[in-house]
Structure 1
Amino acid sequence: MTASSLAGLLTLTPIDVTADPATANSPAGARPAPAVFYRAVIDPVFTIGPKVHGGTLQMLSAHAAVEALAATRDDVADVADVAGAHDLVPVATSSSFLSAPDPGEVTLAVTIRKAGRRVSVVDVDVEQNGRTQVSSSITVSSPDPRGGSYTGDLALRALATEPDSGAVEVRNSPIGEVMHLHDALELWVDSTSIPFARGETGEPVTRLWTRPRDADPDTAFAILAGDISMPVVMNIGRFGWAPTMQLTTYVRRLPAPGWLRIQASSSEIGDGWFEEDHLIIDSLGEVVAQSRQLALLPQ
């Protein structure tokens, strides 16, 4: 499996920073124990322009948190009784983007803040060239089962369960020249939700379909999908780089096989900032993830 696939990207190599010259600048001594360090390689596929895609970095950080918790469960008294640590998922991931890393090798520095029987909290820093690029706090627990106590009237359920005849494949669009993830996943856009493509303006709401190319969607992919849309402010005529400053993603339940449907929207666009929300439902119409990010408005 290559690093250009999702499975390849999520292949983590445990490292000892005290013995590895390549990570000598990692401030391991400043972190409270228990800490775990991994090395990962991010393929250029997972980039927007020249920089690594934010949802990819959040997915990788959340994956490292669960891996580290499972790897240390025999050494951490509070989590020793947790059955099946790998059945736990990152139910909430909150990431601050300090800088934009380049594709290539990164170090993930993982600190377990709380290892509980039901809820654990793990911090993960993505480091490159001796600098922290992304800092995340991840809450790890059990996801909701299918079928909740209440679900609102979701307009997104009216969208076809897979791309229809009017859908636009990102791979074959001008956006595909900047968003390179299409080699690892399929991404189609509801053409009626991108008026900017017709030289028009409209509501900052975009609807999409996505799924991995080599597997069914899982919770890791749902996190990546929480940052998969082009900036919705393009619908009001604001084009250009819209760097994410903060992104929080909730995983609600395990997705069913098939396509994920996504609605990206904004309810408040200021002069300098805008928020963008992603609602993600699976092929059965159940909510599998929700995200909100704060980003700089393109200038």
Structure 2
Amino acid sequence: MAQAAQAIIGDSEFDRDTAVTPRAAGVYDAELSAGWTIFNAVNGGYLLAILGRALGEALPHPDPFSVSAHYLTASVPGPAVIRTQVVRAGRTLSTGEASLFQYAEDGTEIERIRVLATYGDLNALTDEVRTSARPPAIAPIEQCFGAEDGPAPLPGGSAITERLSIKLDPATVGWAVGAPSGKGEMRGWLGLADGRDADPLSMLLAVDAMPPTAFELGLKGWTPTIELTTHIRRRPAPGPLRVSITTRNLAGGFLEEDADVWDSADRLVAQSRQLARAPRV
């Protein structure tokens, strides 16, 4: 049932590592790669992209418009199975559900993440834009800092940084040298390390690919996502993305992160909000 290029697996590592193989109607096998982990857990945006690919296969429309995910337990590298269900298939939009499962040592299935998503065709959108949003103020990419410019790797591992090209604005890297700003902001340029241009599927990764804002709040450690809702607004133009993430409120051990993603044509192409657990100090 899949349409468009979303279901076509290319030569990019991202495409290979988000591949799904049909097992039965609406059921897909996947292999969660260890290359997309941080603090030994599989990254939430990468998981969202895998589920997004499976839903793109199952639904009659090609592109994610709105994807809401609840992360139930931490995923680990290895085999997984995705079960999808078509909730409604309309003329311009379709809605589906998907859950990703892994297996315990005794063979018991463990549900890791559950998604409800609406898909459509981004190519069919009108060109009308009325907005007060503006691209974030980020230093030129040559003045920003990548993982190669930082100190020692994150404790617990950060394999995902080898698959991404992240250049952080100097104003948001104080955490890396022991001087966090306390502002709860993270801004920078983002792309895939192998040069693959962004598309609607990879933007599901982009909204959760930057270092957590908790680092600039002076907190260190894993910041697990509880819930993440992403809106894909446009098909991005070729070139690096600019990502701005802010946290305004950390309370009761939880924080929110609001992300805006802009393309090289200065268009707001994706937005998200997530609730995450603050690192335990």
TM-score tier (shorter):
0.7 to 0.9
Q: Is the 8 A contact 1:207 1:264 kept in 2?
A: yes
Q: Is the 8 A contact 1:176 1:182 kept in 2?
A: no
Quote how far apart the aligned CAs of 1:10 are.
2.7
Using a 3 Å threshold, how does the CA distance of structure 1 residues 172 and 99 change in structure 2: closer, same or farther?
A: farther
Matching residue of 1:163: 141
Q: Is the 8 A contact 1:56 1:224 kept in 2?
A: yes
**Bigger Cα displacement from structure 2, 37-46 vs 195-204:** 195-204
User: Between the two proteins, what is the percent identity of the paired residues?
Assistant: 28
Task: Describe the superposition over 1:241-283 as per-residue Cα deviations: whole angstroms up to 9, x where unpaired.
Answer: 2111101111000000000000011111113110011110001
Matching residue of 2:197: 216
Matching residue of 1:79: none
Matching residue of 1:258: 239
SS in structure 1 of the partner of residue 180 of structure 2: coil
Do structure 1's residue 196 and structure 2's residue 175 form an aligned pair? yes
Task: Describe the superposition over 1:168-223 as per-residue Cα deviations: whole angstroms up to 9, x where unpaired.
Answer: 11255345663212333211211221222233232111101111224111111111
Q: What is the root-mean-square deviation of aligned Cα atoms in Å?
A: 2.2
SS in structure 2 of the partner of residue 168 of structure 1: coil
Query: Aligned residues, how many?
Result: 262
Matches within 5 A, 1:125-274: 125-129=99-103, 130-143=109-122, 145=125, 147-156=127-136, 158-160=137-139, 163-165=141-143, 167-171=144-148, 173=150, 174-175=152-153, 178-202=157-181, 203-212=183-192, 213-274=194-255
| Structure 2 Cα separation of the partners of residues 231 and 125 of structure 1 | 25
Matching residue of 2:20: 12
Poorly superposed stretches of 4+, deviation over 6 Å: 1-4
Using a 3 Å threshold, how does the CA distance of structure 1 residues 50 and 198 change in structure 2: closer, same or farther?
A: closer
Gaps (5+ residues) in structure 1?
17-34, 71-84
Matching residue of 2:91: 117
Bigger CA radius of gyration: 1
Quote how far apart the aligned CAs of 1:53 are.
0.4
Q: Is the 8 A contact 1:4 1:45 kept in 2?
A: no
Q: Is the 8 A contact 1:47 1:53 kept in 2?
A: yes
Match of 2:43 among 48, 53, 59: 53
TM-score under structure 2 normalisation? Answer: 0.86
Match of 2:53 among 42, 63, 69: 63
Matches within 5 A, 1:31-110: 36-70=26-60, 85=61, 88-110=62-84
Q: Is the 8 A contact 1:248 1:293 kept in 2?
A: yes
| Structure 2 Cα separation of the partners of residues 169 and 201 of structure 1 | 17
Quote how far apart the aligned CAs of 1:159 are.
2.5
